[in-house]
Chain A
């Protein structure tokens, strides 16, 4: 046994019954059945400590930040900046000023598309994306390409839903100005080799943006280990509130980028002749930010850190393995996305039943799954399905809930049999 394996074996397994008590919403009943919430890739639920933190902030600490000299403003400013430091440590970012609060992953990607893309990408340049990307990591780049005359190049996937790294490497050339790739696929669960892809791009001096929306909630993420230049993620997929997200970026890039939004808090001085922008991160945080949501995200980081991301990841992989085995054993059910390295996402197709009918019937059994194209239409096209049903797990899901999903699919097959 290696040293690492021994260390992992010594970590006690996740106590799911204890964890579930932290999530009041998991006690709901839906259509007369206990809620089985398997739509975590869309948005996760919030534990009591995060809810309590929001209440405490709103009850005793709220005022606008970075402005007044009074007690509440100083308290709110301190808590907001403390949340930034928590996020910095959570993803092992080198400096806290490199952590920019955004409204979410989409906002973070748009920030880079505008701040970097519109300034440094021009006619004839190329932006490399992948077939797996969420629309939020496609559309902002298409907009940049449309305005600048740059071209979008797309990394293909194999039949298991894995990026074909050899093809990726062939796409990189002197005209490539940026690589934008998701860490974990929301539609298929594929974990992409972002560290290797970053190394390949960096050999040619190409910066890399990683969309980590589906990674940060489910595994330990170390941006310095990955080596990328930008890393984006959302609070509401990791037990935090909606309306808050993060862009981590290298200071030397953030500093030479143009601001995304203009307004208060992002300036040093303003006259009608000229405005001097504030240093990062303030340069990218115009206006009053979602202060409560940022502090809530900090509390979510604390909560996840207490449980341990290694433990979260290990437990979710056990759940995924069990779900893959049970759903995969059902006749007439095809699992879409069978990559060797996967996060806890199970996309599937039931013969003779459209995903929307599957979703409606599962809902009747209290089981919440996402059905549709998952904002990843190129993936659906690649696998020749109009849509899929997707069960996505969190560390508070149980093996019994996987059984409920399997029973629900059985009910679908009974109705459409």
Chain B
């Protein structure tokens, strides 16, 4: 794995100018995600209205991979039904853990395939997945989650 492929322009851009960075004022769901192994933290707020993610935003302190992943995730799920977000969460996990071939048709990841390279960097997979894990927790009405918890997506 060449970092030149992982640290692509899109990831660097989202790291530098994260989209949806902040808090949703009238949020009705929130969750804190933590990766105790590296210290990454993501605070996610969203407004769920009739099963649809009307607004979503994040704050946090993390590496570029985690921050860019959070930024692109919020852009991808905003305005979508929660069920579709859950589908993306599953597909994103499958991609980063090497369970899914992104070249094969049938997935809905689009630009998010820019993160496919982390599957070759086992120590960085959790950086990319943490925001998605946190979104899953928020949608399930759990307020805290961790990449080391029982619900660790890597163990799934």
Q: Enumerate chain A interface residues (CB-CB to B < 8 A).
A: 352-357, 360-361, 363-364, 371-373, 380, 386-387, 415-416
B3 in contact with A364 (CB, 8 Å): yes
Stretch of B60-68, B106-114, B133-141 that contacts chain A: B60-68
On chain A, the residues within 8 Å of B87 by CB distance are none
The A-contacting residues of B in range 1-46, CB under 8 angstroms, are: 2-4, 6-7, 12, 15-16, 37-40
Partner among A356, A386, A416 whose Cβ is within 8 Å of the Cβ of B12: A416
On chain B, the residues within 8 Å of A416 by CB distance are 12, 15, 64
A387 in contact with B121 (CB, 8 Å): no
B7 in contact with A415 (CB, 8 Å): yes
On chain A, the residues within 8 Å of B6 by CB distance are 360
Q: Does B127 touch A at the CB level, under 8 Å? A: yes
Of the A-B pairs whose beta carbons lie under 8 Å apart in the complex, a sample of 10, sorted by A's number, is A352-B16, A357-B64, A360-B121, A361-B3, A363-B3, A364-B3, A372-B38, A386-B39, A415-B12, A416-B12
CA separation between A336 and B7, bound complex, in Å?
Answer: 26
Which chain B residue lies CB-closest to A32?
B2
* CB of B66 to closest CB in A, whole Å: 8
* CB of B130 to closest CB in A, whole Å: 12
CA separation between A21 and B10, bound complex, in Å?
Answer: 44
* CB of A361 to closest CB in B, whole Å: 5
A357 in contact with B63 (CB, 8 Å): yes
On chain B, the residues within 8 Å of A363 by CB distance are 3
B7 in contact with A357 (CB, 8 Å): yes
B7 in contact with A354 (CB, 8 Å): no
On chain A, the residues within 8 Å of B7 by CB distance are 357, 361, 415
CA separation between A387 and B38, bound complex, in Å?
Answer: 8
Q: Does B124 touch A at the CB level, under 8 Å? A: yes
* CB of A172 to closest CB in B, whole Å: 33
* CB of A336 to closest CB in B, whole Å: 15
On chain B, the residues within 8 Å of A371 by CB distance are 38
B12 in contact with A354 (CB, 8 Å): no
* CB of A353 to closest CB in B, whole Å: 7
CA separation between A343 and B141, bound complex, in Å?
Answer: 49
Which chain A residue lies CB-closest to B62?
A354
On chain B, the residues within 8 Å of A364 by CB distance are 2-4
A356 in contact with B124 (CB, 8 Å): yes
Interchain residue pairs A-B with the least CB separation, the first 9:
A354-B63, A356-B63, A364-B3, A386-B39, A357-B64, A357-B63, A361-B3, A387-B39, A415-B7
CA separation between A364 and B7, bound complex, in Å?
Answer: 12
CA separation between A416 and B62, bound complex, in Å?
Answer: 14
Question: Main SS of the interface on chain A?
Answer: helix
Number of A-B contacts (CB under 8 A): 42
CA separation between A352 and B4, bound complex, in Å?
Answer: 17
CA separation between A357 and B128, bound complex, in Å?
Answer: 12
B127 in contact with A356 (CB, 8 Å): yes
CA separation between A371 and B16, bound complex, in Å?
Answer: 21
* CB of A356 to closest CB in B, whole Å: 4
Q: A353-B64, A356-B124, A360-B6 are in contact. Are A373 and B39 (CB under 8 A)?
A: yes
CA separation between A371 and B62, bound complex, in Å?
Answer: 13
On chain B, the residues within 8 Å of A372 by CB distance are 37-39
Partner among B12, B15, B124 whose Cβ is within 8 Å of the Cβ of A360: B124
* CB of A39 to closest CB in B, whole Å: 13
On chain B, the residues within 8 Å of A354 by CB distance are 62-64
CA separation between A117 and B2, bound complex, in Å?
Answer: 50
Knowing that A356-B40, A360-B6 are A-B contacts, what are 16 other residue pairs whose CB atoms are under 8 Å apart, sorted by A's residue number? Answer: A354-B62, A354-B63, A356-B38, A357-B63, A357-B65, A360-B3, A361-B3, A363-B3, A364-B3, A372-B38, A380-B39, A386-B61, A387-B38, A415-B7, A415-B12, A416-B12
What 0/1 pattern do residues 57 to 85 of B give for CB contact below 8 A with A? 00001111100000000000000000000
On chain A, the residues within 8 Å of B12 by CB distance are 415-416
On chain B, the residues within 8 Å of A373 by CB distance are 39
CA separation between A291 and B62, bound complex, in Å?
Answer: 43
CA separation between A213 and B41, bound complex, in Å?
Answer: 30
On chain B, the residues within 8 Å of A352 by CB distance are 16
Interface centre among A352, A356, A415 (most CB of B within 10 A): A356
CA separation between A372 and B40, bound complex, in Å?
Answer: 10
On chain A, the residues within 8 Å of B3 by CB distance are 360-361, 363-364, 415
Which chain A residue lies CB-closest to B37?
A372
Which chain B residue lies CB-closest to A387?
B39
CA separation between A357 and B121, bound complex, in Å?
Answer: 12
On chain A, the residues within 8 Å of B127 by CB distance are 356
CA separation between A416 and B6, bound complex, in Å?
Answer: 13
On chain A, the residues within 8 Å of B64 by CB distance are 353-354, 357, 416
CA separation between A386 and B39, bound complex, in Å?
Answer: 6
CA separation between A364 and B12, bound complex, in Å?
Answer: 17
On chain A, the residues within 8 Å of B4 by CB distance are 364
On chain B, the residues within 8 Å of A386 by CB distance are 39, 61
On chain B, the residues within 8 Å of A357 by CB distance are 7, 63-65
* CB of A417 to closest CB in B, whole Å: 9
* CB of A372 to closest CB in B, whole Å: 6
The A-contacting residues of B in range 83-131, CB under 8 angstroms, are: 121, 124, 127
* CB of B11 to closest CB in A, whole Å: 10
* CB of A261 to closest CB in B, whole Å: 28
On chain A, the residues within 8 Å of B65 by CB distance are 356-357
